[in-house]
Amino acid sequence: MLLANTAVASLAEKHRLPILYRNHTASAIAPKSKELIETLTTLGLPELVRQKLQSWLNPATYSPAVIGHFALALPAYTHFTSPIRRVADYVNHRILKAVFIEGKESPYTLEELQAIANHINSKRTQVKEQRDEHFREKRLNQTVHILRDKGKIENLSDKEFSQIVKDSLRVSKLDKIVPEAISRIEDGNIKPVDLYYLIFGEYNDPETKELIKDTILDYLEEKQVEATQIIQIAGTTNQTTVEYIEKTTASGKFAFWSILEGETTAIPGIASNKQAAKHQANYLLIEGVLDQSLVPPEFIDQSPLQDIHSETNIAQTVVTDEFIPETEDEIDLSEIPTEAHESPIGYLHEALQKLKMKRPEYFYHQVSNDWLCCCRIEWLDEPLIETKAIETSKKDAKANASLKAIAYLENFVIEELSDG
């Protein structure tokens, strides 16, 4: 089909014969072809690629003037192979039959061809808009129906869930999908584009937003590469450029502040690896978005550049056995609820939120091939609970340290109630 259409376009162009060429162009803001491909390759995510292409490429149109087809990388292209379903193909058949078979003049003047092209282009745009509006309304009605039934939300496929997350912002707020979103995040079954809407979307209940915030930050703390993907989606969606302030610490590590729409974090992401520092900066940026604590770039805090230690720096730090803290007293975990064992980090954050207490702080050290995680909880700005766990992965160490903290926290609550 492509070869046949291309052959007809080349034949008409060779004889300078006006037909209805199918032209496709890039917008004025689009980069050159090589740069465009490099940029799309860097973006990686299909959602980002699709959004970029929509902003860079113009719709294909018909015209008696040959311009070329950008997407097909062809100097001339037309529609010729489907005269029974497309007017443009039928018109082109009439022209070629008259000129090359019957030896006659084209049945259309240049002005008539231009008028036909304008009419087809206009009608195609109108039909597309009507079709898009029809399916949009149908989809939004389905979204309203699904949001009323928790069971339907739980049974959505990954693709359907992504669409519901996006569409729920058009019909209400995100509150009704939060329980299922938390479940999928904890299972690691969530897409960066879903997280983008959950982070930048709106909620009716501030407590619901606080709950999803903790779950998102816990997830992204272990997957900071996805934080960068989410910020890229934000930049592409808002048609703005994500910028970075790059510095070097006194110890020679990389420090980055990520800037989105003129706002950044007070402290930088710091790591010995450049990409890791960028990912961490984007994680901190997301944390700032959720906490509403972003600042203008002129107010960044550069003091971490002079201090090697930074709570935001979780880059691998090798320590010897002599630095391992003493083991805690034996903790009885048998009384901890089953749901706490299934999701200790989320359970701990939810419990602290109900008690109006701050989120726990986590600190990491590498011990040989294992990871030591320290979970610290404060009460009235004073250390209240501090637990430690050593596992082969950061994730498991964090989960076990959180589980121990839950046991101590429940004892603390019981004692407070007893004293009261």
Residue 271 has phi, psi (to 5 degrees) of -160, 160
Amino acid at 214: D
Q: In the block, which residue shows the tokens 């550049």? A: 305
- Is 331 a member of any domain? no
Do 178 and 251 belong together in one domain? no
| Boundaries of domain holding 207 | 150-222
Model pLDDT for residues 258-287, shown as the tens digit of each residue: 999 999 999 999 988 999 999 999 999 999
End position of a domain, from candidates 193, 222, 251: 222
Say whether pLDDT at 308 is over 60.
no
140-171: b or e for each residue (b if 16 or more CB lie within 10 Å)?
eeebeebbeeeeebeebeeeebbbbbbbbeee
Residue 335 CB neighbours (<10 A): 9
Do 199 and 245 belong together in one domain? no
- Is 74 a member of any domain? yes
Do 289 and 385 belong together in one domain? no
Do 80 and 190 belong together in one domain? no
Do 239 and 292 belong together in one domain? yes
Do 18 and 40 belong together in one domain? yes
Model pLDDT for residues 88-129, shown as the tens digit of each residue: 999 999 999 999 999 999 999 999 999 999 999 999 999 999
In sequence order, the 6+-apart residues with CB closer than 8 A to the CB of 240 are 260, 261
End position of a domain, from candidates 222, 237, 260: 222
In sequence order, the 6+-apart residues with CB closer than 8 A to the CB of 341 are 333, 403
Residue 161 has phi, psi (to 5 degrees) of -65, -45
Do 9 and 34 belong together in one domain? yes
Parallel, antiparallel or unpaired: strands 382-391 and 370-379: antiparallel
Confidence of residue 380 (pLDDT cuts 50, 70, 90): confident
End position of a domain, from candidates 77, 97, 130: 130
> Which carries the bigger pLDDT value, residue 283 or residue 135?
283
Do 208 and 284 belong together in one domain? no
Do 248 and 266 belong together in one domain? yes
Do 111 and 1 belong together in one domain? yes
State the pTM of this model. Answer: 0.62
User: How high does pLDDT run on average in the chain?
Assistant: 84
Number of domains comprising the chain: 4
CA–CA distance, 109 with 370 (Å, rounded to integer):
79
Q: In the block, which residue shows the tokens 């939004």? A: 140
- Is 332 a member of any domain? no
Do 277 and 342 belong together in one domain? no
CA–CA distance, 257 with 277 (Å, rounded to integer):
9
| CATH (domain of 261) | 3.30.160
Residue 214 has phi, psi (to 5 degrees) of -60, -40
Do 71 and 100 belong together in one domain? yes
